[in-house]
Structure 1
Amino acid sequence: MVQSQLGLATPDHAHISALHHQTARGREVVVVMNPNLHLVWYYDRIFIQPIPRYLLSEAFWKFLQRQDKALWQACAGFIRTYWYLIKYEIDFQKALDPALGLIPVVDKQNPMTFEEFVQFVRPFTKLGDDCVSKRFTFGELRLSRLNILARIFLGKMTYHHIHAQWNEYLGKFLAPFIALFALLSAVLSAMQVGLATAVVTTESGSWHFFSTVSRWFAVVIIILVLLALISYLVLVIIMMVHDFYFAKKMEQRKRIPGFKHKISEMRSGVV
């Protein structure tokens, strides 16, 4: 998983908001079965992986500690995050909600209580960051920044894509351009009024300086608009080429006998 060591995330494993506070921050909890997305947030949603049932088994932990230390550290760090996600009983009740199912129900006749859950998780809070996987030395991670890091360090278009349609993805770039264009248009209109006023006066002194600045400013704005338009078109072309290449690659792989798609490959990864 991409690690943020460039000041793009808070390097603190306790930087995790409880479930009830996630709602207070306007975030929707989205249940995922991909550990790479656990505690990754994107604007008004945060992805959380439920606790697998086998992690509640003491025998499993003993086996894992003997057989695979790296996996044990990953699981230990994962469980430690739930100490911060479930701080109060209201968080525990939300986690038990069938709509989320973050905590598995092993025995329906005698379900786990809040006190039992706290006793289960508490030992993992005593583990230092050197005892868990590197990922869990951080708390919540922002998906938009992970996508940028994925392009730099993983050679992927995105770490995880959200938008299924091009118009949703490109709309993120259009809105700032439109807002900036409106502001610059207002400035240009004001300059035009100033130049029109200068016509009835002698073009000298400060009016001459203002006239020169206005002409150069107009030229710069034209160049910026052209660059923005070219950049937008280049982005669209890159997306088209990437999707075409992805489709051809999947078509070639389908011809291989016994080939099966992986879940991570069932998308183009551009948007």
Structure 2
Amino acid sequence: MANVQCSATRLLPPFSIKQSLSDLANTSRPVAVRSDSQILLCAIEPTRYLVSELKTPRLDRIHEHLWLAGLPRPARPLHRQKLMNRTILITENPDEHLVWRESEIFIKPLPEFLLSYESWETELSQDEELHQCACGLLLSYSWLICHKSDFRIAKEVGLIPAEIEWAQWNSFVGEFLSNINSQTLQQVSKRYRYGELRLSRLHSLYRFTPSVFSIDNLVRGYMSGSTWYRVFFKRNFAWLLAVFVYVTVILSAFQVGLATEKLERNRHFHNASYGFAVMSIVIVVLSILAIFTVWIVLFWYHLYSTRKYVTKVEVMRQKLAISEG
């Protein structure tokens, strides 16, 4: 495992130059990406690009609670994801890599520079945290692509470069794993000590964990989805429909019972029917009030946050225009 240990000056690539599947000259990188403030940056500097491609700051903030969202075991291979009827959705955000919800899983395509020995030597090996994140992302692909069927699915979906052959990939991963302790995981970032993470649990962690609590996190959760209120209420209040169905069935049963000769004069049954009927009315009224209150709060929050964001961007652009002028 000498390849990933600290040498006298820096870290080393986790594979030899003979196993390199790409070179830095042929590694295509975007000329424009979004910054943390959602501003488009052109001709981005390499360090900031690598940070945006590899680091997982949002997951690192709640790492001690990640056991609530997933298990410390490898992610399932791609063929198993298909067998579970999961749709593979492409994401370029490393914080969303291997996050799943219902019948979908988000996977980040493997950056080509991770296959380049020169890229590791000149860029990734200069920063220990970046090195660990890069090793972690490569490790996750050793989980996802175990068989030839996984390799074929990865190519079909566009997760790995089309020009790589199965024999090359097998040899590359074999040497990489020989330089990584897959038991202790000391050479990878702490995020990759967990495999798949459940999005609904991440939403709860980001909404209610004191260390990351904010109004914005309370409303948006971990990963903002559709901005349609209809979708929001369908996803978060669908359980109310089941409650109403059960209440309706029970009320119908009480009504039938009161119509029978045996229960018509039963005082205890009459009291139970009366109590449940009143409770049902209260539940319905409170549910409607709760939904209406949530809608009002969300409406005004989004209105306020939108106006605040617009003002912030306008001020920033004015400052940039003054400084450039």
Q: Deviations over 1:1-59 (max 9, x none)?
A: 14362752343131x11111111111111111110000001111111111111111223
1:214 and 1:57 map into 2 onto residues whose CA distance is 73
Q: In structure 2, give the amino acid aligned to 1:238.
A: V
Tell me, yes or no, if structure 1 residue 25 matches structure 2 residue 63: no
| Correspondence for 1:11 among 62, 71, 95 | 71
Structure 2 length normalisation: TM-score? 0.69
| Correspondence for 1:74 among 96, 108, 133 | 133
Distance 1:218 1:125, change over 3 A: farther
Partner of 1:249: 308
Partner of 2:196: 140
Q: Give unpaired runs (5+ residues) of structure 2.
A: 1-58, 320-325
| Correspondence for 2:120 among 43, 46, 61 | 61
Structure 1 stretch displaced more, 180-189 or 163-172: 163-172
1:189 and 1:250 map into 2 onto residues whose CA distance is 52
Deviating runs (4+, > 6 A) in structure 1? Answer: 109-112
Shift of 1:181: 0.8
**Alpha-carbon contact 1:79-1:124 (below 8 Å) kept:** no
Partner of 2:181: 126
2:292 and 2:268 map into 1 onto residues whose CA distance is 36
Quote the RMSD (CA, aligned, Å): 2.6
Distance 1:110 1:183, change over 3 A: closer
| Correspondence for 2:260 among 170, 177, 197 | 197
1:259 and 1:40 map into 2 onto residues whose CA distance is 38
Q: Give unpaired runs (5+ residues) of structure 1.
A: 261-271
| Correspondence for 2:205 among 149, 157, 169 | 149
1:135 and 1:259 map into 2 onto residues whose CA distance is 39
| Correspondence for 2:158 among 72, 87, 101 | 101
Q: Name the % identity.
A: 31
**Alpha-carbon contact 1:40-1:142 (below 8 Å) kept:** yes
Q: Secondary structure in 1 aligned to 2:105?
A: strand
Partner of 1:42: 101
Q: In structure 2, give the amino acid aligned to 1:179.
A: A
Q: Deviations over 1:97-150 (max 9, x none)?
A: 3xx321235xx5989734334335423652423332221111100111111111
Distance 1:57 1:259, change over 3 A: farther
